[in-house]
Amino acid sequence: MSRNPSNAAERRARIDENTKQSPDKHREAAVGGGCGCASVGSQSTGCGTGLGPATASALERIESELRAFELAERQRLGLVPDPAHWSDANPQDFSAEERGKTQLLFGGLTAAHDAILEAGLQSLGYNAKALPYADVEALQTGKEFGNRGQCNPTYFTVGNLVKHLVKMRDVDKISTDDIIRNNAFVTFGACGPCRFGTYVTEYRKALRDSGFPGFRVMALSQEGPQDDIGGTATAIDTNLQFYVVVLKGLMAGDIINLLGYRNRPYEIEAGATDAAIKESIEAVRNAFLEGRSILRAMSQVRRAFAKVKVNRLQPKPKVAIIGEFWAMTTEGDGNYRLQRFLEEEGAECDIQIITAWALYIIWTLSYDIRESTMLRRRKGEIDRFEGLAPRRGILFAWLGGRAMKLVFGTFAKLGGLKGYKLPNMKEIAALAHEYYPNQLRGGEGHMEVGKVIQTAKKKKDHMIISVKPFGCMPSSGVSDGVQSLVSARFPEVEFLPIETTGDSAVNAYSRIQMALFRARAKAHAEFQDALKATGLTIEEAARRVEGKSSLSQALNYPGHKVTGTAANVVYELG
Ligand code: SF4
pLDDT in tens, 508-564: 999 999 999 999 999 999 999 999 999 999 999 999 988 887 888 999 999 999 999
Residue 459, classified by CB atoms within 10 Å of its CB into exposed (0-12), middle (13-18) or buried (19+), is middle
Range of the domain at 234: 131-238
Band (94; pLDDT cuts 50, 70, 90): confident
CA 342 to ligand 1 centroid distance, Å: 24
Q: Atom 2, ligand 1: which residue's CA is nearest?
A: 472
Tally the domains of the chain.
Answer: 2
Same domain, 148 and 215: yes
pLDDT in tens, 397-440: 899 999 999 999 999 999 999 999 999 999 999 999 999 999 88
230 in a domain, yes or no? yes
78 in a domain, yes or no? yes
CA 478 to ligand 1 centroid distance, Å: 12
Residue 510, classified by CB atoms within 10 Å of its CB into exposed (0-12), middle (13-18) or buried (19+), is exposed
User: What confidence score (pLDDT) does residue 557 get?
Assistant: 94
* Residue 70, pLDDT above cutoff 70: yes
Same domain, 74 and 156: no
37 in a domain, yes or no? yes
Task: Describe the crossing of helices 447-458 and 425-432 by its angle, rounded to 10 degrees.
Answer: 100
117 in a domain, yes or no? no
pLDDT in tens, 176-229: 999 999 999 988 776 667 778 888 888 888 999 999 998 998 887 655 554 444
* Residue 148, pLDDT above cutoff 90: no
**Mean pLDDT of the region 307-311:** 95
Same domain, 222 and 138: yes
Write out 54-122 in H/E/C secondary structure: HHHHHHHHHHHHHHHHHHHHHHHCCCCCCCCCCCCCCCCCCCHHHCCCCEEEECCCCHHHHHHHHHHHH
Omega before residue 497 within 30° of 0, cis: no
Same domain, 140 and 74: no
Q: Atom 7, ligand 1: which residue's CA is nearest?
A: 472
Same domain, 70 and 147: no
Ramachandran assignment for 91, one of left (phi > 0), alpha (psi -120 to 50 degrees), beta (any other): beta
CA 438 to ligand 1 centroid distance, Å: 18
* 3-class secondary structure, 560: coil
User: What confidence score (pLDDT) does residue 480 get?
Assistant: 75
138 in a domain, yes or no? yes
Please list every protein residue whose CB sits less than 6 Å from any atom of ligand 1.
Answer: 151, 153-154, 194-196, 324, 326, 442-443, 469, 472-475
User: What confidence score (pLDDT) does residue 165 get?
Assistant: 97
Same domain, 158 and 214: yes
Given the CA of residue 152, which atom of ligand 1 is nearest to it? 3
Question: Which residue in 464, 454, 451 sits closest to 512, CA to CA?
Answer: 464
CA 151 to ligand 1 centroid distance, Å: 6
How many CB atoms within 10 Å of residue 339?
23
Same domain, 64 and 137: no
Q: What is the CA radius of gyration of the chain?
A: 32
519 in a domain, yes or no? no
432 in a domain, yes or no? no
How far apart (Å, rounded) are the C-alpha atoms in residues 3 and 9? 11
Same domain, 52 and 136: no
195 in a domain, yes or no? yes
The last residue of one of the domains, among 49, 66, 83, is 83
Same domain, 207 and 137: yes
The last residue of one of the domains, among 238, 273, 299, is 238
Prediction pTM value: 0.81
Strand-pair partners of 321: 465
How far apart (Å, rounded) are the C-alpha atoms in residues 226 and 238? 9
The last residue of one of the domains, among 238, 262, 297, is 238
Q: Are 505 and 340 in contact (CB under 8 A)?
A: no
Same domain, 152 and 73: no
To test the pocket of ligand 1, the residue of 154, 196, 198, 478 to mutate (highest count of ligand atoms within 8 Å of its CB) is: 196
Instruction: Determine the distance from the C-alpha atom of residue 258 to the mean position of all C-alpha atoms in its chain, rounded to a whole number.
Output: 20
Beta strands 39-40; 127-130: pairing state: unpaired
Given the CA of residue 442, which atom of ligand 1 is nearest to it? 1
Given the CA of residue 151, which atom of ligand 1 is nearest to it? 8
How far apart (Å, rounded) are the C-alpha atoms in residues 402 and 411? 14
User: What confidence score (pLDDT) does residue 222 get?
Assistant: 59
Q: Element (H or E) spanning 262, and its range?
A: helix 240-263
Same domain, 136 and 209: yes
Q: Atom 5, ligand 1: which residue's CA is nearest?
A: 196
